[in-house]
Amino acid sequence: MSHLNDKVPDKIGRITELAYNLWWSWTPEARGLFRRLDYPLWRKTLHNPVQMLQEISPTKLQEAAQDSTFIRQYNKVMMLFDEMLKNRGTWFHQTYPELSDKTIAYFSFEFGLHSSLPIYSGGLGILSGDHAKEASDLGLPFVGVGFMYPQGYFRQRLPSHGWQEAVYHQLDISQAPVLPMLNGNGHEMRITVNLAGRPVHARVWHVRVGRIPLFLLDTDVDENEPWDRELSARLYAGDSETRIRQEIMLGIGGVRALRALGINPAAWHMNEGHSAFLTLECIREQVKQGKSFDEATEIVKKQSIFTTHTPVPAGHDAFGFHLVEQYFNGFWDELGISRERFLRLGGHEEEWGMAFNMTVLALNLSGQSNGVSKLHGAVSRQMWQEVWPGKSADEVPISSITNGVHVPTWVAGEMDNIFDKYLGPGWLDEQDTQAIWQRLAEVPDNEMWEVHLLLKRKLMSFLRERARRRWVSGGSDPTQVLTSGTLLDPEALTIGFARRFATYKRATLIFRDLQRLQNILLDTHRPVQIVFAGKAHPADEPGKSLIQHIYNLAKHNQVGGRIAFIEDYDMHMARYLTQGVDVWLNNPRRPREASGTSGMKAAINGIPNMSILDGWWMEGYNGANGWAIGDDRELGNQDIQDEFDANSMYQLLEEELVPLYYDRDRDGIPRGWVEIMRESIRSCAPMFGTRRMIKEYTTNLYVKAMLAGEAEPA
């Protein structure tokens, strides 16, 4: 940061501080300031102010410092920035003033905050990032703990044969909004964790997310052996042994990092089971202070919260007992218990035998647990009933808090302007109040439609420019240019499907009857097109096969250029897709979608969902704000279910969506369609934002844990 300060004129000197706080990423005025500074560079760096300030010419900075219009905007933004940092009058401080000196620690394996910090893979990470941003907005005393992955998640490359390749790029940390955490002597902070008898060290990085700090662990330090330096290199890469070592470092190392920083949380929130080893470290600390294991466990349980995110068994990490013994040999002695009792804390019968399951560990050592939608809560209670053998499924203590999305991050600027105009400039502060959204009735149909068409044109322009850049850089052959959206028709009804390519999400379901689909896509007067994007896990061969199937279809002239697959899906692309398509498609195999959040992002931008009644859509669908594929029955046989759901999808397209979209009045406006857009926003924005979600976490879970008493530091 200091080298940038030397370059920036004093008059705008704090712009560097602003660039290193991701608050700018969800604040239109701050984004506008960087855009005004150098718009071509803003686009070239994919909206990364840190990289911008490194690459911008000193002359440009001097000109900005002399530009009275820029200075006025700069002063306004810095005033907003300082007001935010003061943390006065926020919801948490007004509602729970007696708890403002306590801390909530939130542990997650990945955080999706911005594309300039690629330490996320998909929905779980984006949810963590949105959770942190809303915690900042509401003024929660909150810290995040995760990993700094120098190689991040993989970049997806699709050669001409369409089989996904994983490419890893070393992140240039100097160009990311992250800074090293220094100790009192000005040296990089280090923590140490014993892994199978060998000390492994990690440095701590600091990311500023509005009012809250996020601390990221990184084992790529000189003191470590080469294989230990690689431990935190990549997200979700490696075998079970790499995974257990990562999870020990996150859970145990994360607790030690907070202690080293002088932070002693009153509540510990585990986002998924990856960080569940933190409970063992907290118990060890209590035992070291003289408590028995049972006494320590009760204290830790009261302060621990666990959120489970998947009803798919493979999504829950489980390790063979031999690995657990290898890495925790001696640790159970520090807890004052036997090896057998230690293993029982996570013991679970997997398909391949008895193992140590991280979800079971988290459920056993958390006082409060939740799923991420009402349906997922019910599925989780059934799924984990065996952890409470004396209880019926209905009595299992797993509640639910439905996920949400951070509205300021995901709402389009153009839609934001409409909300300012008709809901009032303070609408964001009241976003979870249903009454203010009734004012959408005052938005003229033509304004709503014009904004949507503008966002659709921006999406098409983005796809063409992206394809052109890849072509010019030699990164694609002519076939790939054709499959990447350049042939799409800006006037055609455009369906978006973008998410992780796991088989249960059934990405290819819409191709089940190809002839019927072709008739829909290639209708001369009412054409339809589909844009796909998403990555399969590097080890998921069936997922890669789905991508290849779609990619190969997109190459064929039999679909008339009506199908596109956009490679390397990330947060930057997600904004264009969730703001610019006409319909958002989601067809998972019910009830395997725990929640899903991409459809929420689309909904708040007036893009109706066409979805299976699973996850959040089971709660969100009201009959007038989109379409339900099939019904809420589960037919048992997968082939029969696929046939039923695909037929329902075709019927909806043929009889409802396509006719409604193309039913225009004399002004060229599809009034019926606009009404569904309006209802999508009105019904979903207040209910499926993180504002509602974080208030529920706080009121239902955090406060109870915080009142249980702040743990003494070890």
- Which tens digit of pLDDT belongs to each residue from 678-703? 999 999 999 999 999 999 999 999 99
Rounded-to-integer distance, Cα 233 and Cα 202, Å: 12
pLDDT of residue 7: 87
Place of tokens 């990945």: 110
CA distance 355 to 273: 14
Q: Is the pLDDT of residue 475 over 80?
A: no
Rounded to whole angstroms, the Cα distance separating 570 from 575 reads 9
Query: Is the pLDDT higher at 238 or at 507?
Result: 507
State whether residue 603 is helix, strand or coil.
helix
How does residue 1 score in pLDDT terms, banded at 50, 70 and 90? low
DSSP E strands in 242-337: the ranges are 267-271, 304-307, 318-319
What's the pLDDT score for residue 714?
44
pLDDT of residue 472: 85
**Spatial contact of 121 and 33, defined as CB atoms under 8 Å apart:** no
- Compute the residue count for the chain: 714
Per DSSP (E only), the strands in 622-709 are 626-629
Is 319 strand, coil or helix?
Answer: strand
Question: How far, CA to CA in Å, does 556 sit from each of 282, 480, 496, 543, 561?
Answer: 58, 12, 19, 21, 8
The SS3 call for residue 568 is coil
Rounded to 5°, the CA angle 650-654-658 comes to 120
Spatial distance between the Cα atoms of 129 and 503, rounded to a whole number of angstroms: 25
Please state at what angle helix 514-521 crosses helix 638-652, rounded to 10 degrees: 20
Give the whole-angstrom CA distance, residue 380 versus residue 402: 13
What's the whole-number average pLDDT of the chain?
A: 94
Give me 52's structure tokens. 């911008």
pLDDT greater than 90 at residue 559: no
**Given this model, what pLDDT does residue 2 score?**
56
Structure confidence at residue 479 as a pLDDT band (50, 70, 90): confident
Once rounded to an integer, what is the mean pLDDT over residues 532-558? 93
Average pLDDT rounded to a whole number, residues 510-524: 96
Name beta bridge partners: 497.
Answer: 532
Q: Phi-psi region for residue 376, left (φ > 0), alpha (ψ -120 to 50) or beta?
A: alpha
Task: Report how far residue 541's alpha carbon sits from residue 537's, in angstroms, rounded to the nearest whole number.
Answer: 8
* Sequence-distant (≥ 6) Cβ neighbours of residue 390 within 8 angstroms: none
The Cα 559–Cα 551 span in angstroms is 12
Q: What is the distance, to the nearest Å, from the Cα of residue 481 to the centroid of all Cα atoms in its chain? A: 29
Residue 184 has pLDDT above 90, yes or no: no
Q: 3-class SS at 312?
A: coil
Among 84-88, 239-243, 338-342, the range with the most confident prediction by mean pLDDT is 338-342
Helices (H), 56-97: 58-66, 68-86, 91-95
Q: Which of 39-53, 71-85, 467-481 has the least mean pLDDT? A: 467-481
Identify whether the C-beta of residue 540 lies closer than 8 Å to the C-beta of residue 315: no
Q: What is the DSSP string of 386-443?
A: GGSTTS-GGGSSEEE----B-HHHHS-HHHHHHHHHHH-TTGGGGTT-HHHHGGGGGS
Token pair 């810095």 in the structure block, residue: 78
What gap in Å lies between CA 568 and CA 697, rounded to an integer?
Answer: 33
Name the residue type at position 450.
E
Quote the tokens at residue 170.
Answer: 């070393």
Give the pLDDT score at 315: 81
Whole-number pLDDT of residue 712: 47
Question: Comparing 370 with 150, which gets the higher pLDDT?
Answer: 370
Mean pLDDT within 391-412: 97
Asked if 57 and 32 count as a contact pair (C-beta separation under 8 A), the reply is no
C-alpha closest to that of 26 among 64, 72, 76, 81 = 81
Task: Report d(CA 428, CA 418) in Å as an integer.
Answer: 12
**CA-CA distance, 482 to 449, in Å (whole number)?**
29
User: pLDDT at position 547, please?
Assistant: 95
Higher pLDDT: 23 or 538? It is 23
Terminus-to-terminus CA distance in the chain, angstroms?
Answer: 33
- C-beta separation of 111 from 146 below 8 A: yes
- Which positions ≥6 away from 35 have C-beta within 8 Å? 42
Q: Residue 634: what pLDDT?
A: 85
Kindly list the distances between the CA atom of residue 495 and the CA atoms of 283, 448, 562, in Å, as whole numbers in the listed order. 50, 19, 10
| Residue 46 · residue 116 · CB < 8 Å | yes
The CA distances from residue 481 to 21, 468, 498, in Å, are 36, 8, 19
Pairing of strands 179-180, 198-209: antiparallel
Ordered strands of the 609-612 beta sheet: 563-566, 528-533, 493-498, 583-586, 609-612, 626-629
pLDDT in tens, 14-44: 999 999 999 999 999 999 999 999 999 999 9
Interatomic CA distance for residues 241 and 323, integer angstroms: 7
Cα separation, 397 vs 376, whole angstroms: 13
Whole-prediction pTM: 0.96
Where residue 709 falls among pLDDT bands split at 50, 70, 90?
Answer: low
Whole-number Å distance between alpha carbons of 48 and 109:
23
Residue 354 has pLDDT above 50, yes or no: yes
pLDDT of 668 over the 80 cut: yes
pLDDT score, position 616: 98
Total Cβ atoms within 10 A of residue 190: 15
Contact of 264 with 102, CB cutoff 8 Å: no
The answer to whether the bond into 591 is cis (omega within 30° of 0) is yes
**How, if at all, do strands 583-586 and 493-498 pair?**
parallel
Q: What is the pLDDT of residues 576-631, one digit of tens each?
A: 999 999 999 999 999 999 999 999 999 999 999 999 999 999 999 999 999 999 99
Render pLDDT for 277-333 as a digit per residue (tens, 0 to 9).
999 999 999 999 999 999 999 999 999 999 999 998 878 999 999 999 999 999 999
- Strands 304-307 vs 212-218: parallel, antiparallel or unpaired: unpaired
